[in-house]
Amino acid sequence: MAKTSQAAGLHRASLAKLHDLDAALELMYYGWRGMTLEADDYLAKQGLSRPHHRILYVVARRPDIAIGALIEILGISKQALNRPLNLLLERKLLTSKRSPEQHRSKLLRLTDAGKRIEQRASDHERKVLRAAFDRAGAPGAAAWMAVMGAIADNN
């Protein structure tokens, strides 16, 4: 796994603004990085990375999810899922059991160790968001959510 850290900093570059929305555009870039920086650092120390976290995050919120459903949510191929998923199983951060009746699908679930790592990694991200929301106040946070929703739902 790569050294995703980069020493945690990498000051925002100051570039001339050619358009009125350039500042916003760059904020999206640096915002993503600001949110994920510490989490990626923590994950790297565990020998994990973002794809592993994505799996842990989804399984945490959908216990007993089948592999096919996980593939669909993550939007990657089963071959791409294979490697990180197996690592998580080997490390016993996830368990897979065959469903009692639907014996052809496997149901994924976090172990306690898996839950701990998922929570700590996500906590790093939530901590950053919480600090920003606290500074902005509830109305600011609500506005942020509304704008992000509109951006996310662009199709």
Partner DNA sequence: CCCGTCATGTCAACTACGTTGACTTGAGAC
Partner DNA sequence: GTCTCAAGTCAACGTAGTTGACATGACGGG
Q: Which of residues 75-134 bind its own copies (CB under 8 A)?
A: 75, 122, 125-126, 128-133
Judged by CB under 7 A, which of 103, 150, 153, 155 binds DNA?
Answer: 103
The answer to whether residue 130 forms part of the interface with DNA (CB under 7 A) is no
Which residues inside 40-59 make contact with its own copies, applying CB under 8 A? 57-58
Interface region with DNA, contact rule CB under 7 A, candidates 20-28, 97-105, 127-135, 140-148: 97-105
Residue 36 CB neighbours (<10 A): 18
Which DSSP category does 97 fall into? E
> Exactly one of 67, 73, 132, 141 binds DNA (CB under 7 A); which one?
67
CB-CB contact of 111 with 92 (8 Å): yes
State the number of CA atoms in the 13 A half-sphere of 37 facing the CB.
15
Partner touching 113 among DNA, its own copies, none, CB below 5 to 8 Å by kind: none
Nearest approach, Cβ of residue 42 and DNA (Å) = 14
Residue reference for tokens 């939530």 = 126
Indicate the DSSP class of residue 44: H
| 93 DSSP 8-state letter | S
Q: Kindly indicate which of the ranges 5-13, 40-48, 89-97, 99-107 contains the residues binding its own copies, using the contact rule CB under 8 A.
A: 5-13
State how far the Cα of 141 lies from the Cα of 149, in Å rounded to an integer: 12
Q: What whole-number distance in Å separates Cα of residue 77 and Cα of residue 51? A: 13
d(CA 18, CA 118): 40
Q: Which residues pair with 94 in a beta bridge?
A: 110
Residue 79: which of DNA, its own copies, none does it interact with, CB under 5 to 8 A by kind? DNA
Q: Where on the chain is the footprint of its own copies (CB under 8 A)?
A: 6, 8-10, 12-13, 15-19, 21-25, 27-28, 30-35, 37-38, 57-58, 60-62, 73, 75, 122, 125-126, 128-133, 135-136, 139-141, 143-155
